[in-house]
């Protein structure tokens, strides 16, 4: 797996997402949390003190669940258009932050828990992003992230082979799918300990302006800890 920066591809990808969010007042990802979260978030509750980061929050479909932990929550994304669509009642309870996950403008050891939901597979440089998220975790803090499998229901659908070993969906959005071994290696290479590594399946409805059909996701959901 390449860890070389590829700013052109990453910038093109961020721009595609920003245009998507701005293209409709509808919530692309809906209001329901991602399918694995209610089941696996409790596993992340043995946490040190500290706030929570929803990394690449999109329109914030997971924020209500995160706020349920009773900790301050920061919601960041590269897309200002996405953050503007977080429903107002939720947005006023979180700290929104427009930033690139490759370089988050916050001090090291800022968060006890980071959620990376449905985002790792969209990042052309996942190793760089995971290293940055590790920097942001307090010792003992956890990262909860899903890593779509090579037989995920959307893998290859309306996609052409793209750069960095990935695919381009509709010619614009970068995607990559991982074997179980590749998923585990990503976290271990970043210096994180794997606490849990679950095989998960969940269904998603269509996404306005993005994907017309309901679909099933399959992949690993990894709970990884920064060593104490």
The whole-angstrom separation of Cα 131 and Cα 150 is 23
160 exposure class (CB count in 10 Å sphere: 0-12, 13-18, 19+): exposed
- Sequence-separated (6 or more) residues with CB below 8 Å from residue 208: 24, 26, 27, 28
What is 141-157 written as a DSSP string? EEEEEEEEBTT-TTTTT
Give the number of other CB atoms < 10 A from CB of residue 16: 18
Among 112, 118, 159, 187, indicate the residue that binds ligand SAM (CB under 6 A): 118
Which residue number has the CB closest to ligand SAM? Answer: 58
Piece in contact with ligand SAM (CB under 6 A), picked from 83-91, 94-102, 183-191, 220-228: 94-102
Answer yes or no whether residue 102 interacts with ligand SAM by CB under 6 A: yes
CB of 82 to ligand SAM, least distance (A): 5
Q: Which is nearer to ligand SAM, 29 or 167 (CB)?
A: 29
Answer yes or no whether residue 100 interacts with ligand SAM by CB under 6 A: yes
CB of 140 to ligand SAM, least distance (A): 24
Among 40, 44, 57, 126, indicate the residue that binds ligand SAM (CB under 6 A): 57
Residues 228 and 193 sit within 8 Å (Cβ to Cβ) = no
Contact letters for ligand SAM, residues 11-50 (x by CB under 6 A): --xx--x-----------x----x----------------
Residues 77 and 98 sit within 8 Å (Cβ to Cβ) = yes
Q: Which is nearer to ligand SAM, 140 or 211 (CB)?
A: 211
List of residues contacting ligand SAM (CB under 6 A): 10, 13-14, 17, 29, 34, 56-58, 61-62, 77-79, 82, 100-102, 117-119, 122-123
């Amino acid at each position: 797996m390449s860890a070389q920066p590829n700013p052109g591809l990453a910038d093109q990808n961020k721009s595609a997402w920003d245009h998507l969010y701005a293209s409709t007042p509808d919530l692309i990802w809906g209001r329901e949390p991602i399918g694995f979260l209610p089941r696996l978030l409790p596993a992340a509750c043995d946490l040190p003190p500290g706030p929570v980061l929803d990394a690449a929050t999109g329109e914030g479909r997971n924020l209500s669940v995160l706020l349920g932990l009773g900790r301050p929550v920061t919601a960041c994304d590269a897309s200002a258009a996405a953050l503007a669509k977080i429903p107002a009642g939720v947005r006023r309870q979180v700290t929104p932050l427009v930033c690139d996950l490759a370089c988050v403008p916050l001090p090291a050891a800022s968060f006890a828990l980071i959620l990376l939901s449905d985002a790792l597979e969209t990042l052309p440089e996942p190793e760089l992003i995971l290293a940055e998220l590790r920097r942001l975790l307090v010792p003992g803090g956890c990262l909860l992230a899903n890593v779509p499998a090579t037989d995920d229901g959307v893998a290859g659908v309306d996609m052409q082979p793209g750069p960095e070993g990935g695919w381009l969906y509709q010619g614009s959005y970068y995607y990559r799918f991982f074997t179980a071994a590749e998923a585990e290696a990503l976290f271990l290479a970043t210096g994180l300990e794997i606490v849990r590594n679950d095989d998960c399946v969940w269904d998603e409805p269509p996404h306005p302006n993005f994907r017309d059909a309901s679909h099933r996701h399959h992949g690993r959901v990894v709970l990884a800890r920064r060593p104490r």
